[in-house]
Copies of this chain bind each other. A is one copy, B any other.
Amino acid sequence: MKIRNYTFQEFADRVKEFHGYEAPGIIVGGFMVDLAYGHLPEGWLLDALSETPKCLPDAIQLLTPCTVGNGWLTVVNVGRFALTLYNKENGEGVRVFIDAAKLEAWSELKTWFFKLKPKKEQDRDLLAAQIKEAGNRICGMQTVKVADRFIKKRARGLLGVCPRCREGYPIADGPSCLACSGKENLFQ
């Protein structure tokens, strides 16, 4: 069993190093990324969309060239455990999601996914075994075209110095930066 170019154990080790622990959601996410890749044409310049901030972004960052910091991964929290890998030029891509109906065959996976029991009452060993055995068989897949806002990247535009904090900021945000103008309260 491979997850992209890794063996299962190699990927689990990378997850532990990057994410802090072998979170079930990233292992499942690894199978999802792997499935999506298998249905993409070679040579596409990829961008990625994660529909949850939980776990899935880290699977994408570990297994694709897309990271939050390089701008090729966008996270929009609609609370669905789903990802899309798409052609950054035209938005066509493959979306992979957890198919709730398919979870019926995997009792502990279903319990974990829908949080049917508190985490400490879940059977971690059984969950790990079912994740590995199920692989991508709990996933659904569809071809999609992402919305324009994910294709046309906005340039940051001109930068200036905020007259209040004296730091660089995008002038298009207004006469002072979003933090100083109170539009985003970051600190107490």
Contact = CB atoms under 8 A, between A and B. Distances in A.
A150 B184 CA distance: 12
Given A91-B188, A159-B115, A167-B98, A56 B69 contact: yes
Given A58-B68, A70-B19, A156 B79 contact: yes
B156 A54 contact: yes
B58 A26 contact: no
A53 B78 contact: no
B80 A75 contact: no
A158 interface: yes
Contacts of A99: 166-167
Contacts of A101: 166
Interface string A49-85: 1010111111101000101111100011011111010
Contact of A69 (B19, B91, B156, B161): B19
A68 B55 CA distance: 8
Interface residues of A, number: 67
A23 interface: yes
A4 to B, nearest CB: 14
A173 B81 CA distance: 14
A71 B54 contact: yes
Contacts of A80: 162, 165, 167-169, 177, 179
Q: Across chains A and B, which 7 residue pairs bring their CB atoms closest together, nearest first?
A: A58-B69, A78-B178, A79-B170, A57-B69, A57-B68, A145-B188, A78-B179
